[in-house]
């Protein structure tokens, strides 16, 4: 489970002064559900998710991830989280197998457990053909499968996806979306950030609209439609953002 | 701190680096091939220029002397020079290097000698030009002989023995062991090369493992792991240190092998080798010990390597910290490049004559290493200073490593945009 309580991250910029990457963001994600964080570029999605993955320390507020506080026990949180983002790349000079093995060892797994898990993931994701090929020789789809395997090698209970389909072709994006669904089916707690409306509609059980670092609205798609009297998610999003005095990018 | 984590990170970085052509070039190929090659090419070229200059029979123009035919005859018959009539443009000829030396014999030179006057012979040359300087030496040797003959004749005429004007002889002889002489001559050069390579060896892995990872997006992937940041830093830092130490070891082994195995042959034998090495170090050949090349005390080399270890740690930590701050490898390169000057400067000061080890200089990083290495290679083991330098170097290295760990934990550095 994830419970974010007034998560706030303030950056200090010499020219622009204080900037709120996230401001009082609170939400809760239950196991077996996908929470969609919907927002334009620069809305605060990545900052929020990086705080949940303990890559960034909250300036104020906190979050409890899989029973551990992100500020007090970051190492324990990371051991229970799988974080996949467009910005989390692979080591070009390692093979897919070595990449998975490396993260298995970093997560404290034994060599035997890594071997078994690599075999299992290879079969599940169809990686057998390229498992021993260097990452710089893999296609985008192969890379994404390797990234997924790296993310879940330690079987985390919480999965955080930050725009994981950014820049991917349709087929590869489908693989990712399919995998996210599998995670939900397996009872994992999933947070999925994107600015692609169709992905949110297809995947998310609960949607949080974020803009200017603030969470503007939250609810299921049906709840949001009923609350705003609009059927199209894009219209709801624009309505919310414009209502907050911003401009949807 | 967990050694399993540190080893995991280190072994992964080692494997990754061994597959990276650029790291292999900077850590193994450059120190192994380029440095000895440069050293040998430089030595060979210098040796052949020195040999050529020595083989060259200098052309000497004699100005005047028509009223001293005997002196002129002896000049013409002298070995090791080719005497020609001086033309009006002899000054231009020296400047144009078509004439090496011109000798001005004053009017009535022989007659004035007989009358007991002290006439002055002028030698005109091209200062700093190797062949002209050789010509001067030949002319001076000839004039010295002429002067000695004159003195001998005068003594004989006065019925005095030869020893009256030269009551005793003296000559110098080296009693220092060859390795001490070699150490004294090369004591400045060896640490200089080692320090430089230690730094350049650390540079590329440091950039690749920090700014390179940030640029490629793998740093964020790594930071997702539950491994404490300090373990990640130490694993990566050990790889940078491996690069630094490897560069030094490869350079030492290949240089020693080139000198010991191929040096004499490549440099054209003992005399040539000595000249080349002497020229390379701006030292005079007679000071060099016998044998094809100077010998350096192996114990001194071991001492140097031990003293270099904390400095390698310091370099690795500094290169790591500076690169960590950069967003890209290009940016890291622009920070680390100028740092070479900061490394070379104190090291070069240690080679300067008169620069000695004192409590003050023993605390100046790099300068202290340069000075103590010079002493150790000369067989001087000043344990007080050695302890002070090793201790202070360890302290500096520890501070730099602490800074690296601190920087790794700073979000504004790791996610700098």
- List, for residues B383-405, the tens digit of each pLDDT value: 988 999 999 989 998 998 999 89
Co-location of B185 and B306 in the same domain? yes
Q: Per-residue pLDDT averaged across B60-73, rounded?
A: 90
pLDDT score of B186 more than 80: no
pLDDT over 90, % of chain A: 63
Is residue B174 in some structural domain? no
| A166 vs B388, more confident | B388
What is residue A249's predicted lDDT score, i.e. its pLDDT?
Answer: 44
- H, E, C per residue of A41-61: CCCCHHHHHHHHCCCCCCCEE
What is residue B417's predicted lDDT score, i.e. its pLDDT?
Answer: 65
| B270 vs B313, more confident | B313
Co-location of B197 and B342 in the same domain? yes
Final residue in a domain of this structure, among B165, B188, B210: B165
- How sure is the predictor about B285, in pLDDT bands with cuts at 50, 70 and 90? very low
Q: Per-residue pLDDT averaged across A189-203, rounded?
A: 90
Co-location of B60 and B38 in the same domain? no
What is residue A248's predicted lDDT score, i.e. its pLDDT?
Answer: 46
Final residue in a domain of this structure, among B136, B165, B194: B165
Is residue B151 in some structural domain? yes
pLDDT score of B179 more than 70: no
Domain count, chain B: 2
Closest partner CB to B217 (pick from A78, A89, A151): A89
What is residue B261's predicted lDDT score, i.e. its pLDDT?
Answer: 64
pLDDT score of A205 more than 90: yes
Co-location of B219 and B203 in the same domain? yes
What is residue B289's predicted lDDT score, i.e. its pLDDT?
Answer: 43
Co-location of B61 and B48 in the same domain? no
Closest partner CB to B19 (pick from A87, A93, A103): A93
Closest partner CB to B20 (pick from A79, A90, A93): A93
CB B226 to CB A53 under 8 A? no
Closest partner CB to B12 (pick from A79, A102, A108): A102
Closest-CA residue of A relative to B412 is: A11
What is residue A96's predicted lDDT score, i.e. its pLDDT?
Answer: 96
Co-location of B85 and B28 in the same domain? no
Closest CA to B206 of B344, B336, B341, B16: B336
Closest partner CB to A94 (pick from B16, B216, B217): B16
CATH code (residue B111)? 3.40.1710.10
Co-location of B319 and B201 in the same domain? yes
Co-location of B45 and B124 in the same domain? no
Co-location of B273 and B187 in the same domain? yes
Cβ-contact A208, A27 below 8 angstroms: yes
Q: What's the CA gap between A105 and B113, in Å, rounded?
A: 95
Maximum Cα interatomic distance, chain A, rounded to a whole number of Å? 56
- How sure is the predictor about B260, in pLDDT bands with cuts at 50, 70 and 90? low
What is residue B279's predicted lDDT score, i.e. its pLDDT?
Answer: 42
Q: Residue A6 region, left (φ>0) first, then alpha (ψ -120 to 50), else beta? A: left
CB A102 to CB B8 under 8 A? yes
pLDDT score of B272 more than 50: no
- Which range (A31-35, A164-168, B74-78, B97-101) has the least confidence? A164-168
- How sure is the predictor about B85, in pLDDT bands with cuts at 50, 70 and 90? confident
Is residue B172 in some structural domain? no
Is residue B170 in some structural domain? no
What is residue A102's predicted lDDT score, i.e. its pLDDT?
Answer: 96
Q: What's the CA gap between B85 and B61, in Å, rounded?
A: 5
Final residue in a domain of this structure, among B141, B165, B189: B165
Q: Per-residue pLDDT averaged across B352-358, rounded?
A: 80
Q: What is the pLDDT of residues B111-133, one digit of tens each?
A: 998 888 899 999 999 998 888 99
Is residue B105 in some structural domain? yes
Which chain A residues are Cβ-neighbours of B225 within 8 angstroms? 78, 103, 106-107
B44 vs A: CB within 8 A = no
Q: B226 to chain A, minimum CA–CA distance in Å?
A: 5
Closest-CA residue of B relative to A88 is: B221
pLDDT over 70, % of chain A: 98
Q: B214 to chain A, minimum CA–CA distance in Å?
A: 10
E strands in chain A = 2-13, 17-29, 34-38, 60-65, 68-69, 81-85, 158-162, 189-194, 206-211, 214-219
pLDDT score of B143 more than 60: yes
Note down the domain range covering B297: 3-52+179-414
Q: What is the pLDDT of residues B219-245, one digit of tens each?
A: 888 998 999 999 999 999 999 999 988
Q: Which of residues 72-91 of A touch B (CB under 8 A)?
A: 75-76, 78-79, 81-83, 85, 87-91
What is residue A236's predicted lDDT score, i.e. its pLDDT?
Answer: 92
Co-location of B211 and B359 in the same domain? yes
pLDDT score of A135 more than 90: yes
B15 vs A: CB within 8 A = yes
pLDDT over 90, % of chain B: 27
Closest CA to A125 of A107, A162, A99: A99
pLDDT score of B44 more than 80: no
Is residue B237 in some structural domain? yes
What is residue B163's predicted lDDT score, i.e. its pLDDT?
Answer: 83
- How sure is the predictor about A206, in pLDDT bands with cuts at 50, 70 and 90? very high
Is residue B38 in some structural domain? yes
Q: Per-residue pLDDT averaged across B163-175, rounded?
A: 84
DSSP B354-412: T----TTGGGSTTHHHHHHHHHHHTT---HHHHHHHHHHHHHHHHHHHHHHHHHHT-HH
Q: Per-residue pLDDT averaged across B86-100, rounded?
A: 91
What is residue A166's predicted lDDT score, i.e. its pLDDT?
Answer: 83
Q: What is the pLDDT of residues A219-240, one digit of tens each?
A: 999 999 999 888 889 999 999 9
Closest-CA residue of B relative to A77 is: B226
Is residue B171 in some structural domain? no
Q: What is the pLDDT of residues A25-67, one digit of tens each?
A: 999 999 999 999 998 888 899 999 999 999 999 999 999 999 9
Q: ipTM score of the complex?
A: 0.88
- Dihedral over alpha carbons A63, A67, A69, A72 (to 10 degrees): 180
- How sure is the predictor about B187, in pLDDT bands with cuts at 50, 70 and 90? low
Co-location of B43 and B71 in the same domain? no
> Among B225, B229, B329, B409, which would you mutate to test the A interface (most chain A Cβ atoms within 10 Å of its Cβ)?
B225
Pairing state between β A17-29 and A2-13? antiparallel
DSSP B211-229: HHHHHHTHHHHHHTSSS-H
Q: What is the pLDDT of residues A136-154, one digit of tens each?
A: 999 888 998 899 999 999 9
Co-location of B243 and B371 in the same domain? yes
């Amino acid at each position: 489970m994830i419970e974010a309580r007034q998560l706030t991250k303030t950056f200090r910029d010499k020219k622009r002064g204080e900037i709120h990457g996230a401001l009082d963001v609170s939400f809760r994600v239950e196991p077996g559900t996908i929470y969609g964080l919907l927002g334009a570029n620069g809305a605060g999605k990545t900052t929020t998710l990086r705080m949940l993955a303990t890559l960034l320390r909250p300036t104020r507020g906190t979050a409890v991830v899989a029973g551990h506080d992100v500020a007090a026990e970051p190492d324990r949180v990371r051991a229970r989280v799988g974080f996949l983002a467009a910005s989390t790349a692979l080591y070009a000079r390692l093979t897919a197998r070595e990449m998975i093995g490396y993260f298995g060892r970093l997560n404290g797994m034994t060599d035997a457990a890594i071997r078994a898990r690599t075999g299992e993931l290879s079969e599940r994701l169809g990686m057998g053909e390229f498992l021993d090929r260097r990452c710089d020789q893999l296609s985008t789809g192969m890379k994404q499968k390797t990234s997924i395997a790296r993310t879940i090698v330690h079987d985390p209970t919480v999965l955080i996806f930050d725009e994981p389909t950014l820049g991917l072709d349709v087929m590869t994006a489908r693989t990712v979306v399919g995998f996210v669904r599998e995670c939900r089916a397996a009872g994992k707690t999933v947070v999925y950030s994107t600015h692609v409306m169709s992905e949110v509609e297809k995947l998310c059980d609960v949607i949080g609209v974020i803009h200017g670092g603030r969470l503007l609205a939250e609810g299921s798609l049906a709840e949001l439609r009923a609350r705003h009297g609009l059927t199209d998610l894009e219209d709801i999003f624009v309505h919310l953002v414009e209502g907050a005095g911003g401009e949807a990018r | 701190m967990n050694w399993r984590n540190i080893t995991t990170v280190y072994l992964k970085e080692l494997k990754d680096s061994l597959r990276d052509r650029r790291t292999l070039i900077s850590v193994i190929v450059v120190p192994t091939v380029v440095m000895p090659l440069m050293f040998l090419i430089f030595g060979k070229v210098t040796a052949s220029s020195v040999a050529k200059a020595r083989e060259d029979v200098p052309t000497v123009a004699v100005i005047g002397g028509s009223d001293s035919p005997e002196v002129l005859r002896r000049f013409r018959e002298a070995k090791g020079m080719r005497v020609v009539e001086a033309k009006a443009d002899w000054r231009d000829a020296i400047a144009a290097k078509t004439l090496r030396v011109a000798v001005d014999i004053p009017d009535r030179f022989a007659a004035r000698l007989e009358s007991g006057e002290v006439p002055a012979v002028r030698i005109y040359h091209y200062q700093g030009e190797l062949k002209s300087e050789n010509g001067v030496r030949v002319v001076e040797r000839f004039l010295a002989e002429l002067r000695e003959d004159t003195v001998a004749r005068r003594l004989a005429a006065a019925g005095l023995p030869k020893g009256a004007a030269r009551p005793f002889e003296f000559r110098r002889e080296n009693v220092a062991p060859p390795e001490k002489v070699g150490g004294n001559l090369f004591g400045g050069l060896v640490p200089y090369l080692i320090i430089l390579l230690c730094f350049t060896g650390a540079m590329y892995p440091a950039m690749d493992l920090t700014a390179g990872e940030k640029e490629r997006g793998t740093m964020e992937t790594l930071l997702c792991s539950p491994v404490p940041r300090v373990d990640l830093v130490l694993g990566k830092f050990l790889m940078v240190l491996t690069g630094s130490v490897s560069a030094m070891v490869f350079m030492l082994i290949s240089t020693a092998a080139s000198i010991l195995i191929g040096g004499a042959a490549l440099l054209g034998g003992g005399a040539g080798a000595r000249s080349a090495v002497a020229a390379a170090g701006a030292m005079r050949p007679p000071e060099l010990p016998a044998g094809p090349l100077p010998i350096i005390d192996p114990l001194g080399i071991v001492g140097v390597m031990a003293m270099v270890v904390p400095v390698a740690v310091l370099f690795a930590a500094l290169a790591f910290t500076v690169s960590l701050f950069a967003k890209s490898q290009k940016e890291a390169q622009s920070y680390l490049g100028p740092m070479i000057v900061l490394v070379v400067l104190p090291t070069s000061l240690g080679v300067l004559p008169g620069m000695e080890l004192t409590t003050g200089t023993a605390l100046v990083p790099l300068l202290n290493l340069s000075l103590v290495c010079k002493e150790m290679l000369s067989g001087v083991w000043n344990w007080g200073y050695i302890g002070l330098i090793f201790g202070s170097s360890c302290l500096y290295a520890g501070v730099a490593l602490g800074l690296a760990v601190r920087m790794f934990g700073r979000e504004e550095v790791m996610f700098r945009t």
